[in-house]
Amino acid sequence: MNKIVTLLLIMASGLFAQAQQPLTLTNAITKALENNYDIVIAKENQRVAEIENNWGTAGRYPYINLSLGDNNSVRVVDGDNTTSIGLTGGASVNWTIFDGFSVSITKTRLEELENLSKNNAAVMVEGTIQSVILAYYDVLLQKEILATYNEVMALSQDRFQKAEQQKEYGSAVTYDVLQAQNAYLADRASYLLQEVAYKNAKRNLAYLMAETEAVDYEYTDDFEAITEDYTLANLRAQMIENNKSLQNQYINQRLLNNAIASAKSSFSPSLGFTGGVTGSRAGTKVGDMDMDWANSANFYGNLTLSWNLFSGGNRKRALQIAEIDSDIAEIQLTDMQHDLDNSLANLFEFYQVRKELLTVADENLAAAQLNLQISRDKFEAGAINSFNFRDVQEIYLRAAQGKLEAIYNFINAQTSLLRLTGVIVQEYE
């Protein structure tokens, strides 16, 4: 019977192992870029902007209309019927030949709006990549912390079991057993809570990848910090060239300049052309007489020149407002550049500190590990009491967590630096 149970457990564990799918950080980013809800919406908005960026939307081409009508009537006078049939048709062309260069100005505006839409999609892509990176490493962080809790819990469980055995042989009292039991139960509770945190981290990553089905992944990337040597000058040059928010501000500035040009074009005359052809066929039938048909056609072509010389000062005020908006945008651009410079300097300094803290965390963990090993030997030899050993356990736990959090915080700082300089897409494409 035991062999059968063992065989079933082996088979079940094999199926579980097969159900796991490897997931690298690159794969997670790829899935998110393909399926993330916000990115899908941003790409659809970009498609709309691409469709609207057309010369037809700008007004370069003429409008052509076709019309067809059928008017029939029957008139009865003193028993005699008079039947009338009227067929009309026509085609017309309306074309604004010149309107103060508004067509070219509008087309330029549509191109800038398309660029703005692309940049908005790029901003969404950058934000998603950053979120996925942090979510992926958060999964690894919670997994490593869970392993640390498991290690400490195993030590507490071993200590609890030994205390029970010692009590049976009379070398320990109930107080010692209770102390060991309390420590074990506290570590067990921390482990269970950390297990929930690990599962939540996995769910957050799955949401970013827009996965609705629960998939058991094996997260294959190493949880480690890869340090790079950056210079503030190079980072600033990359930020000026690649930062999407800054590029969007440049586009907004050009759109406002376009609005000034549009306001100026309203002072220009407008030349329009209207042409077309209309035709009709009318038939009249009185009583039993044959239908009498009459056909006619009319061709026309007209040019209209119009010039609004005065409109209550509305055009002048619109131009003044457009110029003021452009001046405000210039100030906002300067403000954004200053703010980005400050943010970059802060992030760069923060990155340098995080890199140094990695070394501090390594040394702290190495000391805590050695202290735990020595204290465990002393505790088993009776050289220290349970309280001292528990303090050492907690010091090791804090040091282990501090090392893991130092790695995650460094990755967070590095990712934020790459996002601000606009090269995060190149780093993880």
Q: Are the CB atoms for 400 and 323 separated by under 8 Å?
A: no
Residue 17 has pLDDT above 50, yes or no: no
| Residue (of 63, 66, 68) closest to 93 by Cα position | 63
* Cβ-count burial 68-104 (b if 16+ within 10 Å, e if not): eeeeeeeeeeeeeeeeebebeebebeeebeebbebbe
pLDDT of 305-361, one tens digit each?
999 888 889 999 999 999 999 999 999 999 999 999 999 999 999 999 999 999 999
Cα 397 to Cα 424: distance, rounded to the nearest angstrom: 34
| pLDDT the model gives residue 291 | 77
**Do 80 and 286 meet the contact criterion of CB atoms below 8 Å apart?**
yes
**CA-closest candidate to residue 220, choices 150, 149, 136:** 136
pLDDT at 18 over 60: no
Confidence of residue 379 (pLDDT cuts 50, 70, 90): confident
CA distance 27 to 220: 10
pLDDT in tens, 211-247: 887 788 999 999 999 989 999 999 999 999 999 999 9
Show the beta-strand stretches assigned E in 50-163: 63-77, 80-99
Residue 302: pLDDT above 70?
yes
Contact in structure between 283 and 291 (CB atoms under 8 Å): yes
Those residues whose C-beta lies under 8 Å from the C-beta of residue 336, and which sit 6 or more positions away, are 245, 246, 249
Copy the structure tokens of residue 321: 């407002």
**Whether the predicted pLDDT of 200 surpasses 80:** yes
For 406-417, what is each residue's pLDDT tens digit? 999 999 999 999
Q: 340 vs 295, which has greater pLDDT? A: 340
What confidence tens digit (pLDDT) does each residue in 83-124 have?
778 788 899 999 988 888 889 999 999 999 999 999 898 889
* Residue 176, pLDDT above cutoff 80: no
Which residues, in sequence order, are bridge partners of residue 23?
219
Judge whether residue 429 has pLDDT over 70.
no
Tokens of residue 121, six digits: 């999609």
